A and B are shown apart, each in its own frame.
Chain A
Amino acid sequence: MASDSPPANIHDRPSSPDDSISSPIGNTFSSPGGAATRRGRRGRSSAADATPTPPQNSRFAADAATTPTPPTSRRPRGGGRRRNTPSTPAAATPSSADEAPQSSEGGEGDDANEAPPMFVWGTNISVQDVNASILRFLRHYRENPAETEGKYMRAIHYVIEVEGESLEVDAHNVFDYDTDLYTKMVRYPLEVLAIFDIVLMDMVSRINPLFEKHIQARIFNLKASTCMRNLNPSDIEKMVLLKGMIIRSSSIIPEIREAMFRCLVCGYYSDPIVVDRGRISEPTVCGKQECLAKNSMTLVHNRCRFADKQIVRLQETPDEIPDGGTPHTVSLLMHDKLVDAGKPGDRVEVTGIYRAMSVRVGPMHRTTYIDCLHIRKTDKSRMQAADLMDTENGSSRNEEDNPADHEDKVEKLRELSKHPDIYEKLTRSLAPNIWELEDVKKGLLCQLFGGNALTLASGASFRGDINILLVGDPGTSKSQLLTYIHKLSPRGIYTSGRGSSAVGLTAYVAKDPETGETVLESGALVLSDKGICCIDEFDKMSDSARSMLHEVMEQQTVSIAKAGIIASLNARTSVLACANPSGSRYNPRLSVIDNIHLPPTLLSRFDLIYLILDKADEQTDRRLARHIVALHFENPESSQEDVLDLQTLTEYVSYARNHIHPQLSDEAAEELTRGYVEMRRRGNFPGSSKKVITATPRQIESLIRLSEALARIRFSELVEKKDVMEAFRLLEVALQQSATDHSTGTIDMDLITTGVSASERMRRENMLSATRNVIMEKLQIGGPSSRLLELLDELKKQSSGAEIHLNDLRNSLHTLASEGFVSFHGDTVKRI
């Protein structure tokens, strides 16, 4: 081996320091003894020698020549992987032919230098093949064929430019380009990654021979992720992708890589001694010829080289834990740059090599850990807050992460948006376990999508956030809706009105206990900037706390002037509040306003105010009864066909918010004006000004926002007339205005349509038009009145077969009466 001393040299240098890291590992790991290890090492080093093809060889040597000059060329992150290469065979073999052991290997290692086909120990993987395919991949992989330069060539140049230390390699790309290489990489990561690094090093030195840092390949984004609890002995020494949450990270452990000794007698400094498999061979004799004192060498700490290391504990995320289990945990070993890459509480995706080592307490036990290669923070359960509304800079991140995937998803979402009934479908998918309340859900959907925020050149800004208030009888699943929205929304904050104070909602000034400085602490509203702030039990909130909301809900800022801090914080948040009516149950004898009992200043800031009333209806009751009986006696199966799952819904909403910015069409604008004028007129009904919620300019803004949201739901860049009409409908339905008697401001309980299914509503509408027709035919304006039963008979005759109840007729007549078409007293109907 004398001939290849320079290459051997480079191998020894970079890799031996690495060995040091493995101190307890390499040491105690039950590899088949030192013999195998040594052979493995030789195999490795020869692999390193033989890898480069002839023309590269010289460069390689050149590079090698630069290597010995110490610190700079040291591989900064040694790594978990290279250092352990020697011991690999022992651990990797359980799956492969291990029975026929070392003997056959012996020869191979020796003549490996000469014999061209070289194999990774214990496998049939040819080193040259792997080398070549890695080289091909790095050179030629392109994301789209039009690019002139490969993705990774660009990346390498970039890394050289910024003097980076690692090259991130997307395993998906490897898979796309060379499936075989991918498989090898996952199955034998230690070997393949070592070759990867060599290839990289070689490429870099060719591009820039003076570049001295060693670049590591960091693989991420494997095709399949492993569930933590499914890791089993067969995964040992394989590359795995795990998702989880960091629960604990140790302090940074400095680990010696290279030791320096000094002679106590003569002061002679030894050459740096690299750690070899966890041990430093302390020189027993002074190296200086003149001295040669025995046992005089002492370690000089500040001339030794150390590397950072950290042990991190990763725990399963709650969604992976089966029913009745506790979360599993696994240790991660982080080196150098990865140290402190994640804090406790972060959700991360870790790519690494699963390893086992024996514990000193019991030689039979194995402790397992992941040798970490790459770590990525994730938080996927929510719409990504950063991406959500920051259209300028935020949206691109996702795409870069995973272009192909992203394209795919976008395509799917677009496909979805083309469904003619997408609006209904999304409505159904929102809180599917709460039945009915369709219109409320539609309103909430609008809130999730939001309108366009607009800033005029003059500085005036219009919010795009839609605020919703739910007022309703107890037990109408308001809180459930709230929690659902909270789960779905980005940065959702959920507070209860009873426990919230004004400062808790907005912001407050506090003294830092350590430094004594005054600091600004954000409250719920500021924290939910660009999200939805859900406030339960709004009615139980103190008045002062509620008044703080005025500014937030219209100006979308929180201003603080206190203790020397004057600040205005952004609080671009949608407010979703829910409250009980003033007497805790809705009192039909009082007007809507009296029932809600909130100051009009605040009320007008809500775009939609829903009255959710529990109404006597035999059919609903029966359905309820049946539902409950089924609950108790059958095995109720959740038959929710045709419903989007939360993930898709989240993505859909997120994409729409980022990419769709609808504009009003002329037609829609016209409709808006018309509708608004009509609303004003209705609100100014003589003698009713105090009892009904009248239309204000704020409402036209609400309408615009709602229409924009509705267009967004369809992924449409244009607000159409039907959007505006639906917006009007939502606004009316919300307040049960169709059922409101405008002369008294009370709601006719029989007319409430919320909580009535679409088909039922359709039936009622048909009934209404039928009744209208009959009255038109039979009654004269100002003519004699007619009895209810006569009308019923007439209707029955006309409808031929369909059952008509007196109650239905009554309902229709009430509606007609509220339109001013007929007058209806007791049992007599009169047309006016």
Chain B
Amino acid sequence: MVGMPYDLLANPLGAVRLTFQKAVDSGHSGAATLDGRDWGAADLFRQFLFDDGGLSQVPILNAASVRTIPPNSLVRFRGMIQDMLGNEFYVGAYKDGGRWRTNKFTDVSQVPMDLSSDKRVWERRLLYCAPVPWLNSWTEPSSEVLLNRCASSTSPQTEKRQRDDDETIDHMDMEVLDHVFQGSPPAKKIRGGHPSPSSHSHECMAEGTCSSTSMVPDFESSSLPCLVKIYDSAEDDLKLNDIFEFIGVLTFDPEATAADKGDSDELENGFCEEESVHLPPSKVPRLHCLEHRKLGVHDFLSISPVMEPKPNQVKEIRETLLGHLTAVLGNDGLAAEFMLLHFLSKVHARVDTLAVGKLSLNLTCFNKENTSVFGNSLNLAVKNLLPITHSIPLSVDYLNTSTLAPRKDYETNRLMSGVLQLAEGSHLTIDETHIQAGTLTSVGVENTRLLKNVMELQKVEYDFKYYKMEMTTDVQLLVLSEGKSNIFPADIVLPLRPSSVGSTEMLDSEALKAWRWYLASLRSLPHTIEPQMQKVVEDDMVAARQANRTLGSQDFSRWLTMGRLMSLSFGETCLSLEHWQMVKELERLRMERLQ
């Protein structure tokens, strides 16, 4: 494919059409038999993107770059599938004079269509994708890649974004100070870290979210949603809340007004697919997807695969990370161990209603004084280590007013996002320390129930008005509370016993990178158990239950999860006796603390 007559980056449609012509010319009956299926264009792009390394040259679409990238060029977009808008039928191929032409991967036809000409109707899927909610700013793909092509035009924006990021961090630091000095009234804490008024200013976002909780409040710089049109893809490839990178043709026309709406009559409005009404092309760019790939948590690390640490380094990283966590938690080694396991947890199987592999952690003994110290440094540490994190400062007011569950709005036929619409592998901190006595309204009760469900079942009920639909989710939950949280029963309850004030160590960026890599990659390792080890585990459990009748399946489940995570934390894929003993020891120490 040397010397392509078309520049795949600047004019992908040219290549699409060329391959189409070829296919039609070589085929027997042309477009009629094609039926919308791929004719080789996808292969061409696949080769260009992945084999020839063209991927890095494709500019990334975000709020900053959308105005500068010319329409009909190749872009990539990283986002979470926030809503699925169903299928769309379009005229895929039509006859222009004697020639077949195609409309695939575009919204407008190349030449005006003759009404009477011969046509084929094909279908494509519509996905509404939003930037990954609560994605931490350090995950932004290094901007030099994106700037290859349109460097001159985007650099001011990039700088601005950089500045925004700095601002948020500054802001956060100030919050920390605030808490230190004022003892932070709860009302303030609600909006802590996320200046909410600004979120309303952004029209794109305001449309998709609810008044009190914007979906992505502090990522204005990249809060561009995108309507992705998928061609030739099996339905179960793409699931709600999955994070994908879509590569395709951009169509975006900021100047376009909703086409002569006054003209269309009532009936047509009734039928008219709502997205064109509620997601006008002038605000939401369209991406005609040529290629997509699923992203995991580790795809958000800026580390390149080449410099992946060696297995023998894993232990080292584990030690340093543990040291860091211990320092953050005021020299509480036990809490740090549990925290590490918690960070590595992941739902790896579901049986009936049970989510196997989750490990939610409830750190207790936070009071007004030490929350400001440990709570905030902990939040910061979490933010620095994991790519997708969010903290909910819980209060009666928050529960009563916020929209946690996504809700279907039948007026607009859109799924309204809620705080709990989270991508797989997100981390959620619930800060219960500031909650005060008060009355929950029905909304509050419902929200509490939702949070509890997430905690216990890793499921979120989406509100479809006439029924609720349960969606599975995989969220690491950390609860900070004064006593044991009775509202949210976590898997592990551990009183924090700090012996020193949180440290103010400077973070080494290399170490930080290594830790991020460690947390992101180890948690997806497979895991097994040897038969003899299984026997040991079983015997231990039976003995434990004979000794203590209050132990139940939940406790055993927790032990096994911890065993698994413990061996994972050493980079091993098989449970060993040593790690099992460590788990039992941890549990023993924890029990001691609880008494």
Cβ–Cβ contact B241 & A324, under 8 A: yes
- Per-position 1/0 for B330-365, Cβ under 8 A of A: 000000000000000000010110101100000000
Stretch binding the partner chain, chosen from B450-458, B548-556, B583-591: B548-556
Cβ–Cβ contact A368 & B89, under 8 A: yes
Q: Which of B118, B264, B349, B552 contacts A635 (CB 8 A)?
A: B349
Q: Which of A331, A364, A622, A636 contacts B349 (CB 8 A)?
A: A636
Within 8 A of A (CB), among B511-551: 527-529, 534, 537-538, 541-542, 545-546, 549
- Per-position 1/0 for B115-142, Cβ under 8 A of A: 1101111110000000000000000000
**Most chain A C-beta atoms within 10 Å of own C-beta, residue among B89, B276, B349, B469:** B89
Stretch binding the partner chain, chosen from B152-160, B197-205, B310-318, B459-467: B459-467
Cβ–Cβ contact B466 & A245, under 8 A: yes
Cβ–Cβ contact A629 & B268, under 8 A: no
CA distance in complex: A609, B552 (Å): 24
Query: Hey, which chain B residues are within 8 Å of A622, CB to CB?
Result: 538, 542
Cβ–Cβ contact A367 & B545, under 8 A: no
Closest Cβ–Cβ distance, residue A501 to chain B (whole Å): 15
Within 8 A of B (CB), among A303-348: 309, 311, 313, 315, 318, 321-329, 331, 344-345
**Most chain B C-beta atoms within 10 Å of own C-beta, residue among A250, A356, A360:** A360
Query: Hey, which chain B residues are within 8 Å of A94, CB to CB?
Result: 32, 120-121
Cβ–Cβ contact B121 & A324, under 8 A: no
CA distance in complex: A345, B410 (Å): 12
CA distance in complex: A336, B150 (Å): 59
Query: Hey, which chain B residues are within 8 Å of A292, CB to CB?
Result: none
CA distance in complex: A329, B275 (Å): 13
Query: Hey, which chain A residues are within 8 Å of B467, CB to CB?
Result: 245, 318
CA distance in complex: A676, B74 (Å): 84
- Per-position 1/0 for A657-673, Cβ under 8 A of B: 00000000000000000
Closest Cβ–Cβ distance, residue B89 to chain A (whole Å): 4
Within 8 A of B (CB), among A344-363: 344-345, 356-357, 359-363
CA distance in complex: A631, B559 (Å): 13
Query: Hey, which chain B residues are within 8 Å of A357, CB to CB?
Result: 271
> Known: A475-B552, A614-B549, A621-B542. Contact between A631 and B351, CB under 8 A?
yes
Stretch binding the partner chain, chosen from B8-16, B106-114, B498-506: B106-114
- Per-position 1/0 for B13-46, Cβ under 8 A of A: 0000000000000000100100010000000000
CA distance in complex: A132, B26 (Å): 46
Residue of A nearest to B559 (CB): A628
Closest Cβ–Cβ distance, residue A638 to chain B (whole Å): 8
> Known: A621-B546, A628-B556. Contact between A329 and B86, CB under 8 A?
yes
Stretch binding the partner chain, chosen from B186-194, B206-214, B255-263, B367-375: B255-263
Residue of A nearest to B86 (CB): A328
Query: Hey, which chain A residues are within 8 Å of B529, CB to CB?
Result: 629, 632-633
CA distance in complex: A250, B269 (Å): 11
Query: Hey, which chain A residues are within 8 Å of B268, CB to CB?
Result: 24, 359-360
Query: Hey, which chain A residues are within 8 Å of B67, CB to CB?
Result: none
B63 within 8 A of A: no
Q: Which of B91, B119, B266, B534 contacts A633 (CB 8 A)?
A: B534
A618 within 8 A of B: yes
CA distance in complex: A622, B462 (Å): 38
A412 within 8 A of B: no
Cβ–Cβ contact A632 & B560, under 8 A: yes
B52 within 8 A of A: no
Query: Hey, which chain A residues are within 8 Å of B549, CB to CB?
Result: 614, 616
Query: Hey, which chain B residues are within 8 Å of A216, CB to CB?
Result: none
Query: Hey, which chain A residues are within 8 Å of B471, CB to CB?
Result: 324
Cβ–Cβ contact B564 & A632, under 8 A: yes
Cβ–Cβ contact A636 & B351, under 8 A: yes
CA distance in complex: A368, B90 (Å): 10
> Known: A311-B270, A633-B534. Contact between A24 and B265, CB under 8 A?
yes
Residue of A nearest to B413 (CB): A329
Query: Hey, which chain A residues are within 8 Å of B528, CB to CB?
Result: 633
CA distance in complex: A624, B556 (Å): 9
Residue of B nearest to A328 (CB): B86
Stretch binding the partner chain, chosen from B162-170, B218-226, B232-240: B232-240
CA distance in complex: A365, B229 (Å): 13
Number of interface residues of A (CB under 8 A): 67
Cβ–Cβ contact B90 & A365, under 8 A: yes
**Most chain B C-beta atoms within 10 Å of own C-beta, residue among A250, A363, A625:** A625
Cβ–Cβ contact A362 & B108, under 8 A: yes
Q: Which of B121, B236, B466 contacts A366 (CB 8 A)?
A: B121
Closest Cβ–Cβ distance, residue A278 to chain B (whole Å): 10
Q: Which of B88, B263, B352 contacts A365 (CB 8 A)?
A: B88
Stretch binding the partner chain, chosen from A183-191, A228-236, A732-740, A795-803: A228-236
B273 within 8 A of A: yes
A369 within 8 A of B: yes
Q: Which of B108, B408, B538 contacts A625 (CB 8 A)?
A: B538
Query: Hey, which chain A residues are within 8 Å of B272, CB to CB?
Result: 359, 361, 367
A599 within 8 A of B: no
Closest Cβ–Cβ distance, residue A366 to chain B (whole Å): 4
Within 8 A of B (CB), among A233-273: 233, 236, 245, 247-248, 250, 253
Closest Cβ–Cβ distance, residue A231 to chain B (whole Å): 8
A117 within 8 A of B: no
Q: Which of A98, A315, A326, A624 contacts B553 (CB 8 A)?
A: A624
A99 within 8 A of B: yes
Cβ–Cβ contact A24 & B267, under 8 A: yes
CA distance in complex: A625, B546 (Å): 12
> Known: A364-B109, A367-B272, A626-B538. Contact between A232 and B32, CB under 8 A?
no
Query: Hey, which chain A residues are within 8 Å of B90, CB to CB?
Result: 364-366
B557 within 8 A of A: yes
CA distance in complex: A363, B240 (Å): 30
A433 within 8 A of B: yes
CA distance in complex: A232, B36 (Å): 11
Closest Cβ–Cβ distance, residue B539 to chain A (whole Å): 8
CA distance in complex: A626, B540 (Å): 11
Query: Hey, which chain A residues are within 8 Å of B235, CB to CB?
Result: 229, 322, 325
Closest Cβ–Cβ distance, residue B413 to chain A (whole Å): 7
Q: Which of A236, A311, A315, A328 contacts B267 (CB 8 A)?
A: A311
CA distance in complex: A360, B276 (Å): 11
Cβ–Cβ contact B271 & A33, under 8 A: no
Residue of B nearest to A32 (CB): B116
Closest Cβ–Cβ distance, residue B125 to chain A (whole Å): 10
Query: Hey, which chain B residues are within 8 Å of A604, CB to CB?
Result: none
B62 within 8 A of A: no
Closest Cβ–Cβ distance, residue A581 to chain B (whole Å): 15
Closest Cβ–Cβ distance, residue A116 to chain B (whole Å): 32
CA distance in complex: A570, B415 (Å): 41
- Per-position 1/0 for A607-626, Cβ under 8 A of B: 00000001010100110111
> Known: A364-B103, A365-B89, A624-B556. Contact between A233 and B123, CB under 8 A?
yes
Cβ–Cβ contact B469 & A327, under 8 A: yes
Give 11 pairs: A residue, B residue, CB < 8 Å, sorted on A.
A229-B235, A233-B123, A324-B241, A328-B86, A357-B271, A362-B107, A368-B89, A629-B560, A631-B354, A632-B349, A633-B528
Given A359-B273, A364-B108, output 8 extra A-B contacts at Cβ < 8 Å: A313-B413, A324-B240, A324-B472, A345-B466, A366-B91, A367-B89, A629-B534, A631-B354
Residues of B within 8 A of A (CB): 29, 32, 36, 83-84, 86-91, 103, 107-109, 113, 115-116, 118-123, 235-236, 239-242, 258-260, 263-268, 270-273, 276, 349, 351-352, 354, 356-357, 408, 410, 413, 415, 462, 464-467, 469, 471-472, 527-529, 534, 537-538, 541-542, 545-546, 549, 552-554, 556-557, 560-561, 564
Q: Top 4 nearest A-B pairs by Cβ distance? A: A324-B239, A33-B116, A366-B89, A311-B270
Residues of A within 8 A of B (CB): 23-24, 30, 32-33, 94, 98-99, 101, 229, 231-233, 236, 245, 247-248, 250, 253, 309, 311, 313, 315, 318, 321-329, 331, 344-345, 356-357, 359-369, 433, 475, 614, 616, 618, 621-622, 624-629, 631-633, 635-636
